[in-house]
């Protein structure tokens, strides 16, 4: 296969919002993992952080908010509501100045 990647290491880490999505076309990926981790947060916290990040790239708060509400929040809600349970879930409940408080969800 032309676009295949041959994995030769014992540990491979994959990162992505949709890797645990419990939807056709995505839901079989979990079968290839020995251990899964999900990092999640409150929808409002994620929205605020996405708007701030978009504004830091030169957009006005209004433009950043419009973009996030139109585009990014669809993805946020999809991942929050339609992802399969991970082996380990970390829930961020405070994230300021690059420091995150989290708890393990069982």
Q: pLDDT-derived band of residue 88, with 50, 70 and 90 as boundaries?
A: very high
Choose among 62, 43, 37, 40: nearest CA to 51. Answer: 62
Q: Is the pLDDT of residue 20 over 80?
A: yes
What is the per-residue pLDDT for 92? Answer: 86
Provide the residue ranges of all domains of the chain, joining segments of one domain with +. Answer: 29-105
The predicted model scores a pTM of: 0.77
Q: Angle at Cα 65 formed by Cα 62 and Cα 89, nearest 5°?
A: 160
> Once rounded to an integer, what is the mean pLDDT over residues 59-72?
96
């Amino acid at each position: 296969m032309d676009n295949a990647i041959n994995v030769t290491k014992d540990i491979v880490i994959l990162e992505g919002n949709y890797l645990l999505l419990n939807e056709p076309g995505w839901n079989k990926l979990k079968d290839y993992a020995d251990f899964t981790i999900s990092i999640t947060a409150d929808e409002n916290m994620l929205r605020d952080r996405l708007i701030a990040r978009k504004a830091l790239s030169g957009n006005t708060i209004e433009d950043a908010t419009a973009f996030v509400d139109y585009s990014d929040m669809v993805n946020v809600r999809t991942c929050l509501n339609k992802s399969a349970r991970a082996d380990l879930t970390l829930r961020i409940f405070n994230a300021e100045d690059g420091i995150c408080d989290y708890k393990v969800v069982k």
